[in-house]
Structure 1
Amino acid sequence: MASKVIHAIYTDDDILLQAVKQVRAGRYHIAEIYTPFPVHGLDKAMGLEPTRLAITSFLYGLVGLAVAIVMMNYMMIEDWPQDIGGKPSFSFLSNLPAFVPIIFELTVFFAAHLMVITFYMRSKLWPFKEAENPDVRTTDDHFLMEIDVEDHDVNQLSKFLYDTGALEINLIDNK
């Protein structure tokens, strides 16, 4: 993490989106952007890679499918087979149509719940965690772009950011 960052505050999402493109074209490093609502296209403008959470969701669904099949086979075929409605209990495949709703529900259950847990762990959103929002106005109607100063001239960078439409610029010393 850089020791000094600049917080540039914007009031419009379209101006912010254009500013992000200009800042990236100027070869400055955007550390983070805080917005009161999701801004469509901001991830592509920042050059972020696509998320791989969909792949994990599919894998979690496969885990749920496997758990459902093993659970249904054990409970209904091996452990305590019963004749319910004249259906034979000697084979999993012959009872598969009756098991489909339970298999589907457990697949969705595992995928959904494990995805939420993965998202919170990946985002480092622990219970009782303090908010990392640097400016309370970003929860209402302002947008904040955090740029690493590194070896750049602060005055030149500030002028550049004002030219992109920034309303306010603050130099912050991280410790």
Structure 2
Amino acid sequence: MASKVIHALYTDDDLLLQAVRQVREARYRIGEIYTPFPVHGLDKAMGLAPTRLAITSFLYGIVGLAVAISMMNFIMIEDWPMDIGGKPSFSFLQNMPAFVPIMFELTVFFAAHLMVFTFFMRSKLWPFKKAENPDVRTTDDHFLMEVELGNHDANELTRFLFDTGASEIKIFNR
């Protein structure tokens, strides 16, 4: 059996934020919200857990730093030691001040590039993926809240959503 969802369209982000709070207080389940731009505080109003992407970014930076240190130690100290500018070629620690820019750049490079891949995989965005936008107006100036109907009365929920400030409401089978 297909579940039914209600799409409530709003014209203002502050109105949407207030409606999300009211819908959550009334114990209805919000499936998804589509907005043309990020709305500050929407994740908190929806009750979403904090993201762990910052932790993965830090770990990717540590990997980049480790690659930089091992690469420079192998290339400049072990494999092909060179006396450049009077710097000793037998110690990584004595040469480290000269290696700091490379370590910084590879740390940022790994963190940035691996975060892009992580974000795309986590968001399930890959090349040639069909857009899942239910209403094209949400890319311009409208905000859409998808509320799952469940065992609730459709007329009662529709009336409630109109009272929260929705300008248009449609019922869909998912």
Give TM class, smaller chain: over 0.9
The 5-angstrom pairing of residues 49-88 of structure 1 reads 49-88=49-88
Alignment correspondent of 2:132: 132
Could you tell me which residue of structure 2 aligns to residue 18 of structure 1? Answer: 18
Amino acid at match of 1:57: S
2: CA distance between counterparts of 1:41 and 1:96?
Answer: 44
Question: Quick one: which amino acid aligns to residue 144 of structure 1?
Answer: L
**Could you tell me how far 1:76 is from its partner in structure 2?**
0.3
The superposition leaves residues 68-117 of structure 1 with CA deviations (integer Å, 9 ceiling, x where unpaired) of 00000000000000111111100101111111100010001001111111
Are residues 1:171 and 2:171 paired? yes
Q: Which amino acid aligns with 1:165?
A: G
Q: For 2:140 and 2:159, how far apart are their aligned partners in 1? A: 26
Structure 1 CA distance, aligned partners of 2:95 and 2:46? 52
TM-score (norm 2): 0.98
Counterpart-to-counterpart distance in 2, 1:111 and 1:76 = 24
> Which 4+ residue blocks in structure 1 deviate beyond 3 angstroms?
none
Q: Distance in 2 between matches of 1:83 and 1:150?
A: 73
Structure 2: gaps spanning 5 or more residues:
none
Q: How does 1:1-175 map to 2 (within 5 A)?
A: 3-174=3-174
Q: In structure 2, the residue corresponding to 1:86 is in which secondary structure?
A: coil
Q: Report the Cα offset of residue 3 of structure 1.
A: 1.6
Q: CA RMSD in A?
A: 0.7
Give the TM-score taking structure 1 as reference length. Answer: 0.97
What is the identity, as a one-letter code, of the residue corresponding to 1:160? F
1:121-160 deviation per Cα after TM superposition (whole angstroms, max 9, x unaligned): 1000111111000000000111000011111100000000
Deviations 1:37-83 (A, max 9, x none): 11111111000111110000100000000000000000000000011
**Cα distance in 1 between the residues matched to 2:166 and 2:86:** 74
Sequence identity, in percent? Answer: 80
Q: Separation in 2 of the partners of 1:151 and 1:65?
A: 53
SS in 2 for 1:128: coil
* Aligned length in residues: 173
Deviation at 1:161, TM superposition (A): 0.3
